Chain A
Amino acid sequence: MTRALARPTAAVLVGAVFFVPLYLVLANVFKRGDLIAKEPASLPWPPTLSNIHAVLTRPDGLFWVSLTNSIVVTVLSILVLVVLSAMLGHYLARSGKRWTKVLTLVLLAGLMIPPQVILIPITDVLRITHLMATVQGLILFNVGYYVPFGVFVFTGFIRGVPVELEEAALLDGASRMQVFWRVVFPLLRPATASVLIFLGVWIWNDFIDPLIILGPSQGTTITTGIYRSIGQYQADLGSVFALMFLATLPVLIFYLALQKQFVKGLTGGATKG
């Protein structure tokens, strides 16, 4: 009996210790501001929605402005990324040319380049093209930086799609674009899902790139908004916790809805022969 209970007990204990910081956020979101500093670990009783209300109704609209920016940047970046990397993946998987090997290596290298290495010159490139401190500039940067990831996920999947399918459709008179978008792309659903989920979460959570590219005065995304509000509203911890909670909520919902796909995408590399 004791042996049978050992594993669940140990698992719950380890999980509980691990969960403490998450509990701290959850509890303090629903706690009165003055109690957060006094008793941060206590249960939020009676619970209050005043922190969330305060964030949503701030006179400067920080939350809504940041939310809009984050949504625009994330959605447009991942849409463009899916289109560009699926097509480039198709080219790499289907073209027999030798130089695609070189191209593949050059793209592979992109997976390990730290953003710090390119951020300094990027700001100059964006300044020259008048894209610095704009949402479009940030989106273009995201697309360039994450294209290698998308390409590798898609290339692997496209290799698994029989070429004969495409040839048959071509013989039937479809154009190359039609063949790709109507025949091949629908077969790549699992790859598209992992690319969307991964890049969506990374871009949503990104901090350093929006901080530097959008600049200090122009615009904030949700993460840079949180960062700025800890400096400016040191005293009002309730709002900071509520803002963090609200910023995480969309990712959390996104993740819970697509959990299966997420874990499959994460471990695809480990289990694929």
Chain B
Amino acid sequence: MGEGGLTSLTAVVSRPAPPRPVASRRRRRPVLPRLTHFASFGAPGVLVYLCFVMAPILISFGYSLTDYNPFHPPVKFAGFANYRLLFTDSQFLTALQVTTILTLIVVIVPNLLGLGVALLLDRKGWLYNALRSVFFTPVILSSVVVSIVWSRLLDDRGPLNSLLRALGVEHPPGWLSDPDVALYSVASIVCWQMLGFCVVVYLAGLQGVPQELLEAAEIDGAGPLRRFRAVTWPLLAPSLTINTVVLLISAFKTYDYVKVITNGGPGSGATATIAFDVLQTGFDSNHVGYASAMAVVMLVIVAVVTTIVLGFLRRREVDL
């Protein structure tokens, strides 16, 4: 996602492919000579990945152990000082808190609303098809476009507050200017953009629920709520897994919205996520060493949380 938008995740959460037919599995030797196969097919992709993803991560870790600042040479080795500093740095702790709140909202709200909308739209007909497209359109918009539109809409003198004033609200909230509100506004905007993704994934999941099961439950006397809880919901487990992991990872990376809408503010870092802080510290303040320590901590948090959540969600998936 677009950055900040969707992430490359259907692949991570999809199940492993079915085993190959016995005939080819029995074969000891692979079809193609190994080394040349790797050199011609594997190496180019692996090389670019190593140069542009893996090596930078190692370099980042290296920088994080120094006081590297391109405008203040020489570079000194600092050991784990940056890391120790991080956990007493109120700005970083605020960013950690902001990221946590944002992530919780962005994982829970589009998941719930997306399920609701999908249940509402789970019918055939042109009206429902058209509405699917309406909900999906924000997913393919750039987060910069989404951010600009919403910041116009939520401006103190923007259309939303004009409407509220017309309805008799004397002091409508400063959606983006009040430090206590701004984070929730930004989170809502992310939710708005991600909602369509969840709707489409849940709709696909709903298509996989066998009608016979629902009919059998109805004959057994189960009401609509009971049918949903006992039949539909457990069968939507893979959809929940995909949505949760995609939302989780895109919430962690939230940068575009913060940069365009609030630039970290209002006040001192009311909406500054870790992803935002890393780039501010690294590129605007040039504290590359310190920013790298922040980036490494961020990477560890993303990896640990995603692995735990993915493991947990996978375990509750049932097989038909």
Residues of chain A at the chain B interface (Cβ within 8 Å): 7-8, 10-12, 14-15, 18-22, 24-25, 40-41, 84-85, 87-88, 90-92, 94-97, 103, 106-122, 124-125, 140-141, 143-149, 151-153, 155-156, 159-160, 162-164, 166-167, 170, 176-177, 180, 198, 201-202, 204-209, 212, 222-223, 226-227, 230, 237, 240, 244, 247-248, 251-252, 255, 259, 263, 265-273
List 10 A-B residue pairs with CB atoms under 8 Å apart, sorted by A's residue number.
A18-B135, A84-B44, A97-B34, A112-B12, A205-B5, A207-B259, A212-B279, A259-B133, A269-B14, A271-B208
Residues of chain B at the chain A interface (Cβ within 8 Å): 1-15, 17-18, 20-21, 23-24, 29-32, 34, 36-38, 40-42, 44-46, 48-49, 51-57, 59-60, 63, 117, 120-121, 123, 127-128, 131, 133-135, 137-138, 140-146, 148-150, 152-153, 158-159, 192, 195, 197, 200-201, 204-205, 207-208, 238-239, 242, 249, 252-253, 255-256, 259-260, 274-275, 278-279, 282-283, 288, 291-292, 295-296, 298-299, 302-303, 306
| Chain B interface SS verdict (over half) | helix
* Distance between A149 CB and nearest chain B CB, rounded to angstroms: 4
Pair B38/A118 contact, Cβ less than 8 Å: no
Pair A113/B299 contact, Cβ less than 8 Å: yes
| Residues of the B chain whose Cβ atoms lie less than 8 Å from the Cβ of A117 | 56-57, 60, 278, 295-296, 298-299
Pair B242/A269 contact, Cβ less than 8 Å: yes
Who on chain B is nearest to A167 by CB?
B31
Pair A22/B142 contact, Cβ less than 8 Å: no
Pair B54/A163 contact, Cβ less than 8 Å: no
* Distance between B66 CB and nearest chain A CB, rounded to angstroms: 12
Question: Pick the contact of A91 from B14, B42, B238 — CB < 8 Å?
Answer: B42
Pair B55/A263 contact, Cβ less than 8 Å: no
Give Cα distance in the complex from A95 to B205, angstroms. 33
Question: Pick the contact of B143 from A88, A125, A140, A205 — CB < 8 Å?
Answer: A205
Question: Pick the contact of A204 from B20, B142, B200 — CB < 8 Å?
Answer: B142
Who on chain A is nearest to B301 by CB?
A114
Pair A122/B52 contact, Cβ less than 8 Å: yes
| Residues of the A chain whose Cβ atoms lie less than 8 Å from the Cβ of B278 | 116-117, 120
Pair B3/A112 contact, Cβ less than 8 Å: no
With A118-B57, A120-B295, A144-B53 in contact, is A152–B12 under 8 Å at CB?
yes
Who on chain B is nearest to A123 by CB?
B283
Pair A8/B127 contact, Cβ less than 8 Å: yes
Who on chain A is nearest to B292 by CB?
A120
| Residues of the B chain whose Cβ atoms lie less than 8 Å from the Cβ of A159 | 17-18, 20
Pair B11/A163 contact, Cβ less than 8 Å: no
Give Cα distance in the complex from A114 to B303, angstroms. 10
Question: Pick the contact of B144 from A121, A227, A267 — CB < 8 Å?
Answer: A227
* Distance between B164 CB and nearest chain A CB, rounded to angstroms: 13
| Residues of the A chain whose Cβ atoms lie less than 8 Å from the Cβ of B153 | 20-21, 24
Pair A141/B242 contact, Cβ less than 8 Å: no
Question: Pick the contact of B148 from A7, A118, A209, A244 — CB < 8 Å?
Answer: A244
| Residues of the B chain whose Cβ atoms lie less than 8 Å from the Cβ of A10 | 120
A-B pairs with lowest CB-CB distance, top 9: A144-B52, A205-B2, A269-B14, A88-B45, A152-B11, A269-B10, A267-B204, A205-B142, A91-B42
Pair A87/B42 contact, Cβ less than 8 Å: yes
Pair B52/A177 contact, Cβ less than 8 Å: no
| Residues of the A chain whose Cβ atoms lie less than 8 Å from the Cβ of B145 | 25, 223, 226, 244, 247-248
Pair B32/A94 contact, Cβ less than 8 Å: yes
